[in-house]
Chains A and B, each alone.
Chain A
Amino acid sequence: MHKIIIESLSLQYSDGTESLRDVSLGIHQNAVTVLFGPAGGGKSTLLRCLNRLNDLAEVKASSGRILIDGENILDPKVDVIALRRKVGMVFARPVPLPMSIRDNVTYGLELAGEKRRATLDEAVERSLTLAAIWDEVKDRLDTLAVALSGGQQQRVCLARVLALQPEIILLDEPTSGLDPISTGKVEAALQELKKEYTVVLVPHSVQQAGRTADHAAFFLQGELIEYGEGKSLFTAPKQKKTEDYVTGRFG
């Protein structure tokens, strides 16, 4: 079942560079969909359209529709704040806020107006567990989040997103700064998460794309070249360009 349907989305930055050209694809519920390709291909731009973070960039023109549960989220009337609570995002560089681990996780909930101590405590344990870091930090929830290692910070940031109980989780190269062990933990967490959520991932390497993808979309210079099941796309790509990229002939 498609959670997100993107219909002929085009987008241009105000300096004239084209970022997306007539992209259409459907993103499946309860699966990891990977958007991959060389830099400048429009993967991050597309990701940032899904929670309207591009509203704040210098975007000149966009056309097309993005339907989440049948609702066009590009409609100016859409409540962006509510949308961003429903569509969570994890960035390439972990950005822990300058506060304790616990406060980092409850931050989004508090912004949303949640004050009940029990609900917050419950959310802290549940989301840290889901992000596969509960065991590492449960005894020091009140220490500063910035004191953690990069890999731990990134999982706290993931937990922070999960605490809001979103339906969709966007990840923009979440492991680009992490060591292999931390990367493995994040990837394993994703496989758990997809049981409950719809996961859209921009991986930092083709290898990661291959490891994690249920479905994969290959982007090149703003165009969607190929989209299909992860396994078949990486083992038997239909397009020559995809094959060249996956086998490492360019990029």
Chain B
Amino acid sequence: MEKSLTWREFIVTRAIQASGYSAIVFVTLIFFFLLREGAPALTDVKLSALFSARWYPIEDYFGILPLITGSLVVTIGAMLIAFPLGIGTAVYISEIAPRWIREILKPLVELLGGLPSVVLGFLGILLVSPFLRSFLDLPTGLTAFTGSLLLGGIAVPTIVSVAEDALDAVPRSYREGAWALGATRWQTIWYVTLPAAKSGVLTAVMLGVGRAIGETMTVMMVTGNAPVLATALGSWFAPARTMTATIAAEMGEVANGSAHYHVLFFIGIVLFLISLGVNVAASSVVFHAKKRAERILS
């Protein structure tokens, strides 16, 4: 009896342990696979050609710079839209809305987060892009800005959800302390609640960035997919092509082992490094905030 119990204990412990380690194993495997398939790009294509401004794989032009700038323009634009909107919504839900509105709004926002991105892309093609074309008088409505708008919409639920939790976790005593000093509601939010929830709010933004930069389907549908190097602010209102969309669109028709194939994987490596950087930045912010909190509390 007792022996079987310890056996069960042993198996359960090991199973949990294995599933924990598997996350590390998978990430390493993915990275090595990416490296194996992507690194040959550096020998197939000269480095200067790889980081040039022309992407035209049929004639062996593999300049990935327009794709990187495309991703950056779309993502930064998305964050400019999602950051104020997301934080604003989170503050409203957590600090201002009466209880019944909060109880409707929060699940609704989370539902929005579960919306398949292809549906959003569909809406983008049918509604947003024709509207933008006529409203801004552009030659085409399929622009980086369209992508930013929709990506912003995708990132907002992530930001709201995480930031709202962080704001909610700020002790009531902080707010009461500020109120009792004669702070207005806005002053309390701006000078006390938001700074106290700073690390959580930053995490929310970083997660939003991660969500936006990795998004594929929507941007592929609405950004026009023209690999043009973004050089000026006007590029925001011109078609662009992101790294993710390029991989998704071209991977299916590429010859296995060709230079084009290797370059696509190389783009994958770049994307991987960027999201790794964002994640490391996010967790180091949280880590610093935690250490500071521990120092204060001890």
* A84:B182 contact, CB within 8 angstroms: yes
A160 an interface residue at 8 Å Cβ cutoff?
Answer: yes
CA A108 – CA B183 in complex, angstroms?
7
Residue-wise, chain A 131-146 has the 8 Å CB interface mask toward B (1 for contact) of 0000000000000101
Contacts of A88 in B (CB 8 A): 180-181
Contacts of B180 in A (CB 8 A): 51, 53, 84, 88-89, 91, 161
B173 an interface residue at 8 Å Cβ cutoff?
Answer: yes
Instruction: Report B176 CB to chain A, min CB distance, Å.
Output: 6
B107 an interface residue at 8 Å Cβ cutoff?
Answer: no
Residue-wise, chain B 155-193 has the 8 Å CB interface mask toward A (1 for contact) of 000000000000000000111111111111001000110
A56 an interface residue at 8 Å Cβ cutoff?
Answer: yes
Count A-B contacts at CB 8 Å.
56
B196 an interface residue at 8 Å Cβ cutoff?
Answer: yes
* B179:A112 contact, CB within 8 angstroms: no
Say which size band chain B's interface belongs to: 10 to 19
Give the contacting residue for A81; candidates B173, B174, B184, B192; CB below 8 A: B184
* A111:B192 contact, CB within 8 angstroms: no
* A93:B176 contact, CB within 8 angstroms: no
A56/B179 contact (C-beta < 8 A), A95-B174, A144-B296 known: yes
Contacts of A56 in B (CB 8 A): 175-176, 179
CA A111 – CA B186 in complex, angstroms?
11
CA A243 – CA B181 in complex, angstroms?
37
CA A111 – CA B187 in complex, angstroms?
7
- The SS class assigned to the B binding surface is helix
Residue-wise, chain A 115-140 has the 8 Å CB interface mask toward B (1 for contact) of 00000000000000000000000000
* A97:B182 contact, CB within 8 angstroms: no
Contacts of A160 in B (CB 8 A): 181
Contacts of B173 in A (CB 8 A): 91, 93, 95
* A108:B196 contact, CB within 8 angstroms: no
Contacts of A164 in B (CB 8 A): 181-182
Instruction: Report A19 CB to chain B, min CB distance, Å.
Output: 17
CA A198 – CA B237 in complex, angstroms?
64
Contacts of B182 in A (CB 8 A): 81-82, 84-85, 108, 111-112, 164
Contacts of B174 in A (CB 8 A): 95, 97
Instruction: Report A133 CB to chain B, min CB distance, Å.
Output: 18
* B296:A146 contact, CB within 8 angstroms: yes
Contacts of A157 in B (CB 8 A): 177
CA A147 – CA B296 in complex, angstroms?
7
A91/B176 contact (C-beta < 8 A), A81-B182, A85-B182, A111-B187 known: yes
CA A81 – CA B192 in complex, angstroms?
16
Instruction: Report A41 CB to chain B, min CB distance, Å.
Output: 20
B195 an interface residue at 8 Å Cβ cutoff?
Answer: yes
A91/B196 contact (C-beta < 8 A), A85-B182, A164-B182 known: no
Instruction: Report B262 CB to chain A, min CB distance, Å.
Output: 51
* A98:B296 contact, CB within 8 angstroms: yes
Residue-wise, chain A 69-93 has the 8 Å CB interface mask toward B (1 for contact) of 0000000000001101100110101
Q: A91-B177, A111-B181 are in contact. List 8 more A-B contacts (CB 8 A).
A: A53-B180, A84-B182, A85-B181, A89-B180, A91-B176, A95-B174, A161-B181, A164-B181
Can you give 10 A-B contacts (C-beta < 8 A)? Answer: A53-B180, A56-B175, A82-B182, A88-B181, A98-B196, A98-B296, A108-B181, A111-B187, A147-B296, A161-B181
Query: Which residues of B are at the interface with A, using a C-beta cutoff of 8 A?
Result: 173-184, 187, 191-192, 195-196, 296
